[in-house]
């Protein structure tokens, strides 16, 4: 991960401050607040702010005005009930704001989760850093033959070396052209960029950026409520999710576990580690439990549904 000395100093200053408050405080997340968790080769995610905790979920569900008289185990029981029965609004009472640095192609996949507030680094106003993502050798895989959006065997030897050279070379070239089009030279003594060619103006930043590779890193602030964060994690922390977004989801899952441990345990049990079955699949399962021989042909399930059904039962 690439943090400048100024960025690291800012993070250290943020983590050193302490303020008295009447707000709800989640001790687990307080320990992680502002910390930059390194991801991929130049990326990170860090929690900037949050609102609410496990008790806020319970309080909203009961519509109470303060800490109730219920025992903690009853609070967790209520949270598990809410999760189990798909009650979403109490979880929407908690929010978290994250600062994320990520490759543009990951950001374009991420932004499909529209139920969040996003403010991205502006390449119309500022100049993007020369940072781009290059996969680690173990992540450099061929296209899967059985899945149009998955990966197959890892590339090796000369083929892998050639692909890595192309990825680096293209990224270097596009950034070099970007820098040239901007007509931006090295910084002067006052920290301002000098012109590469004083006789001409640089291309507008909003135009120069269009030539950059999708591997270029961008940054944004992403604020989301807990209900929609759980939806994001259910999809992106899944083993089938693309690796480059899954590492972010895994880091966010750990922050969420520190923030709302009761709610996260319920999420693990009823969403992340659970299986949803259709009515025909439940019918087939009941017949199996009754001792009936059930195969795809007499199950009422399509071939694809049958494969998923078998996988859910642990029969690949």
Q: What positions carry a catalytic annotation?
A: 236
| Phi-psi group of 148: left, alpha or beta (phi > 0 → left; psi -120 to 50 → alpha; rest → beta) | alpha
What CA–CA distance (Å, rounded) separates 286 from 158?
53
What CA–CA distance (Å, rounded) separates 259 from 50?
9
What CA–CA distance (Å, rounded) separates 64 from 81?
18
The token pair that represents 70 in the structure block: 């219920």
| Distant-in-sequence, close-in-space partners of 238: CB < 8 Å, separation ≥ 6 | 246, 272
| Distant-in-sequence, close-in-space partners of 240: CB < 8 Å, separation ≥ 6 | 150
Return the closest-CA partner of residue 104 out of 18, 200, 219, 246.
Answer: 219
Contact 269, 80 (CB under 8 A): yes
Q: Which residue do the tokens 């950001």 mark?
A: 107
């Amino acid at each position: 991960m690439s943090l400048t000395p100024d960025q690291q100093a800012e993070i250290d200053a943020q983590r050193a401050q302490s303020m008295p408050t009447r707000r709800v405080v989640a001790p687990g997340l307080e320990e992680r607040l502002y910390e930059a968790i390194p991801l991929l080769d130049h990326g990170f995610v860090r929690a900037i702010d949050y609102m609410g905790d496990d008790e806020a979920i319970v309080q909203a569900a009961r519509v109470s005005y303060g800490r109730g008289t219920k025992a903690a185990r009853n609070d967790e029981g209520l949270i598990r009930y809410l999760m189990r029965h798909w009650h979403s609004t109490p979880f929407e009472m908690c929010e978290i704001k994250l600062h994320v640095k990520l490759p543009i192609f990951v950001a374009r996949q991420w932004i499909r989760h529209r139920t969040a507030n996003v403010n991205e680094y502006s390449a119309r106003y500022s100049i993007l850093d020369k940072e781009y993502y290059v996969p680690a050798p173990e992540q450099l895989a061929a296209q899967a033959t059985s899945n149009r959006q998955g990966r197959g065997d890892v590339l090796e030897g000369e083929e892998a070396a050639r692909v890595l050279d192309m990825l680096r070379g293209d990224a270097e070239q596009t950034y070099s052209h970007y820098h040239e089009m901007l007509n931006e030279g090295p910084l002067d003594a006052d920290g301002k960029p000098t012109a590469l060619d004083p006789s001409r103006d640089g291309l507008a930043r909003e135009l120069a950026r269009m030539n950059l590779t999708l591997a270029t890193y961008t940054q944004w602030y992403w604020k989301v409520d807990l209900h929609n964060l759980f939806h994001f994690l259910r999809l992106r922390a899944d083993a089938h999710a693309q690796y480059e977004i899954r590492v972010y989801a895994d880091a966010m899952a750990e922050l969420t576990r520190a923030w709302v441990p009761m709610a996260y345990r319920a999420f693990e049990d009823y969403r992340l580690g659970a299986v949803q079955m259709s009515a025909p699949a439940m019918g087939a399962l009941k017949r199996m439990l009754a001792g009936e021989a059930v195969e795809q042909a007499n199950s009422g399930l399509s071939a694809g549904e049958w494969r998923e059904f078998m996988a859910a039962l642990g029969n690949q």
